[in-house]
Structure formats: C-alpha cells, structure tokens
Chains A and B, each alone.
Chain A
Amino acid sequence: MKKIVKPKIGLFDLTGCNGCLTVLLNQPEILDIARVTKIVSFRLAGEGKIRGRYDVSFVEGYAGDEEEIEVLKKIRENSDILVALGACACTGGIQTIRNFLNLEEVKEYVYPNSPTIKLVEAKPIDAHVKVDFYIPGCPVNGREVVEAVKAFILGKNPEIPNYPVCVECKIRETECVLIKGTPCLGPVTRGGCGAPCPAAGYICDGCRGPVKEANMVSEAEILKQILKEKDLTLLFRKYAGLMEGFKELAGR
C-alpha cells in the first residue's frame, strides 16, 4: 500500500447503536484526525451522503434491511479500502442472538401484525460485500481505530492483534476469573481490547469474536465443569455466535 496524503474518509452507520462511532468521537485525537484526513461522509456528526470516491470507509452496524444492503454495496463500490467497525459489522453483533430463535415468533412478539417490517437475517457485513480490514469489539477499542487511521495514512496495514484476551489480562495483572470458577471466554476471544471487562470484575463475553486457532475443545471442557450445557450455548450466542469456532458451541 502507498502513503495516502489527506485520505478521503467515510464514516458510515448501518443499523446498530452508533456506539463505535461515539467511541471514535471520544478519542482525544479526533480533531487531529479531521485535520490530516478529509472526512467526506459522517452522518452522525456531519453529512451522510455518498460523495465520490473514498480512500477508506469505516462501516458500523449490520445491514438491517434490503435498502441497507444496497447502501452497503454502494459504499463498497465507492471505497478503495473498506473497514468493518465493531461487532455488528465484523461478526453480526448482539442481534445475532435472534438467529438462534424462531425469527417470525420473535418479530411477532415485538411488532405484532406489522407486515411492513421486512426482516433480513443478522449477518456480518462481509456476507454482502468484501471487507478489507476488521476492527472488532462491542464497542471498538478507540485506540485501535486511531491507530488504524494512522496506519492508512502511512500506507501500512492496521494491526489487529491475534492473541487471546488472556494475554491482556496478564499484562494488566487482572486476576484470572476462569480459575476462580467464573465462565470466561477470554482464552478463545481475540484480544486488542485491553481486557477491560475482567478488570471491571465482569467476564470476557466474547464481543470481539474467536481468536484464530483457539483451543475450543479445551475451553469447552473447562466451561462444562462450571456451566450447564444450555448456559454454555447461551454464552457463545451473543456477539459472534455465527463465527467459525463459536458457532459449533452456540449450537449451530
């Protein structure tokens, strides 16, 4: 890749919570990013129109209806580099929980007798278009997004770690919650988040999706000593239950 002087950037949001773009806005470097790039599209904080070509587009959310699938395709056509931003875009996100249920029943429960609501299956955006880079997490780690923008300007590939969350718990000296008998997906989940959840006294619930070459068999063995089969299934059906590695344990 070559260096891009003042890259044209698109910050797009499909169906989701806008949390990942909010995290980006919270970064102290946001004004610098706006200075060294040209933010062409940013519906949440500027204008949403697709205008000409983009050097890099970041897409948050999942394509929630047929129209959004078309929007996503148009973004892809107009972008040299497309980055999936956050769990919804990378792995389908929290709404993939419903993919394991009777979808029609779930819809009727929330929106009874509403024929105008057309459901599409919740999927990662790469089910519809080619994705060049993935920045996972629910929400994303803002530092990773800032580093990715820097990398694109320098003509480098952004580096998203491929080690488990456990590595980051060790670095920040968080006591292992799995050893204490609390179910944790840290050993099989992709790190890079900085492991904030176990440090807060919670568990890693796998929002960044499976790390490559995770030892799923071993993780499942440990979890089966702590959890009932049904609860183990629920643990994997959350942000990334459709992904290779997680889906087998999510009961798919």
Chain B
Amino acid sequence: MKIREILNFGYLPRVEGHLMFTVDVKTGNAQVEVMEGVRLFEGFVRGRKYDEVPYIVSRICGLCPCSHNLCAIKAIEDAFEIQPSEQTIKLRKLIVFGEVIQSHLAHLYLLALPDYMGVKDIFDIYKKHPEEVKIGLKLRENANYMLEVVGGRPVHPIRTTINGFLKIPTKTQLKELLNKMKESVEYAVKTVELFAKLEIPNFERKTEYVALKNENEYGLYDGKVVSSEGLNVEGKDYM
C-alpha cells in the first residue's frame, strides 16, 4: 500500500521539477518518484528546420534555458563543421556565466535557504532579514542583466544563433554590465559570509559527481565530461 495523496502530501517543494515522496508502509521503503507529464522534445524536433531547434529546446527548462539553447547550437555547428569567431565564443561564455550565477542564486536563496532557516519561503526570511534577501535578489538582477544584454532576455534567449549572434550588446551596455559585475563581487562575498554561518548537517552518501573539465579554464562552455567515478569522454560520446 502506498501513502500517496496528490499535492496534499505531494510534490516536493522548492526543487526544480516535480518529485513525489512516497513511502511503502509494509516494507518501509521510501522513494522519490518523478511525477511529471512527458514532453518528448527529442522526438518532435525531428523534421524541424535545424536553425529553429536551439529555440525549441531552450523550452526544456526555464531555469537553465541558455544551456539547452547553446548546447543545440554547438551540436549543429559540430555537424556543419563550423568554427565560430572568438567574439562569439566570448559572448556565449558571458551567457553561460550569467545563467550559472542566476541559477545558483535561485538555488541558494530561494530553494535552499528557507530550509536552513526553518521557514516556508524567501518571503518569510525577508520579514526578519530584509538586507540579506535584497542582496540575493540584487545579485540575481545583475546576472539577469547579463543575460538580457547578451542573450536578449533572461528566460529563453533570442539573440543567440548558429555561428554567431543576431545582435550583440552595445559598448554602453557592456560598460554598464562591467559596473554591475563589480557591484556583484561585493555582494557575492556577503553571500559567502551568510552561507558560511549556516549549520550544515553531517550527511554523506555515495554520489557520482559529474562535470565538464577543461584544462585551460573552468569548464562550463567547453570540455570533457568527467566524473568522480572515472568517466572521461568527449561530449559527443557521452550518450
């Protein structure tokens, strides 16, 4: 028998995606189940025009749309043996950084922090610690500005395309971005200080950690897929 009441016990809050926690009373087994309809992107992009695929697949996730978008662009460039310009790659890396910053901040402040503080959500935290919350939101705002001026908008980029950009940021926008990033460094330090104060429960389990690895830089845009269990392959050989 499964204890399973939709929504009332239901969806695990503050995670990306729908998961349900179920307990088998007889066996005592607890498990997390993916509770979401399927969308079938891999199936329905077949037969579409190649240059619209990056826009379609960004819709896989609204929290990391730029990664899906750029991943498709890179795959298509690979297929056509296109080597984009240095400028294009630099601008794309800004988008990757912007997305990682805003997504990690969403995780820290919106998804994780309420658990550590024993409250329901960030709005509860705001009542007691308005300055801290404002710092988190300001950092996200600055990262979103990066996505806005380079990718066109934070959720579902529109300026990125195969072998380049449809439009690039102006000098004024880049200067403004630089100022905002300088401001962000200061706030990022405050964020580290805030999270360093939290008491992290002592819990470890066997986990395989997977990441991109690049010999020349922090692997976010390019690199081999490596894991703590010894995986080490080129991206195209991963699947």
Contacts and interface: CB of A to CB of B under 8 A. Distances in A.
Interface of A: 13-23, 25-26, 28, 30-31, 34-35, 39, 42-50, 62-65, 67-68, 70-71, 74, 93-95, 97-98, 101, 105-107, 109-111, 117, 119-120, 138-139, 196-197, 200-202, 205, 231, 234, 238
A71 B4 CA distance: 13
B149 to A, nearest CB: 11
Contacts of B59: 17, 19, 93-94, 138
Interface string B68-85: 000000000000000000
B7 A50 contact: yes
23 contacts: A20-B62, A22-B62, A22-B155, A25-B106, A26-B155, A39-B121, A42-B121, A43-B14, A45-B122, A46-B120, A48-B12, A50-B7, A98-B43, A101-B44, A105-B43, A106-B44, A110-B41, A110-B43, A119-B38, A120-B37, A201-B167, A202-B55, A238-B56
Given A23-B62, A67-B6, A93-B59, 18 more contacts: A17-B63, A22-B63, A26-B155, A43-B11, A44-B110, A45-B110, A46-B120, A46-B121, A50-B7, A50-B8, A63-B37, A64-B37, A98-B43, A109-B42, A138-B59, A196-B153, A202-B166, A234-B48
A138 B59 CA distance: 8
B158 A200 contact: yes
A70 B6 contact: yes
Secondary structure type dominating chain B contacts: loop
Contacts of B10: 48-49
Interface residues of B, number: 56
Interface in B35-69: 35-44, 46-49, 52, 55-56, 59-63, 65
B10 to A, nearest CB: 6
Nearest to B134: A31
Contacts of A14: 37
Contacts of A21: 62
Contacts of B155: 19-20, 22-23, 26, 139
Contact of B7 (A44, A71, A110, A196): A71
A95 B44 contact: yes
B126 A34 contact: yes
Nearest to B109: A45
A80 B4 CA distance: 27
- Which residue, of B49, B52, B106, B153, has the highest number of chain A Cβ atoms within 10 A? B153
Contact of A231 (B12, B49, B153): B49
B183 interface: no
A200 B167 contact: yes
Contact of B123 (A39, A67, A106): A39
B36 to A, nearest CB: 5
Contacts of B47: 101, 234
A46 B114 CA distance: 8
Contacts of B52: 205
Contact of A98 (B40, B121, B140): B40
B38 A64 contact: yes
Contact of A17 (B40, B46, B60, B114): B60
B133 interface: yes
Nearest to A95: B39
Given A48-B13, A71-B7, A202-B158, A15 B36 contact: yes
Contacts of A23: 62, 154-155
Contacts of A201: 159, 166-167
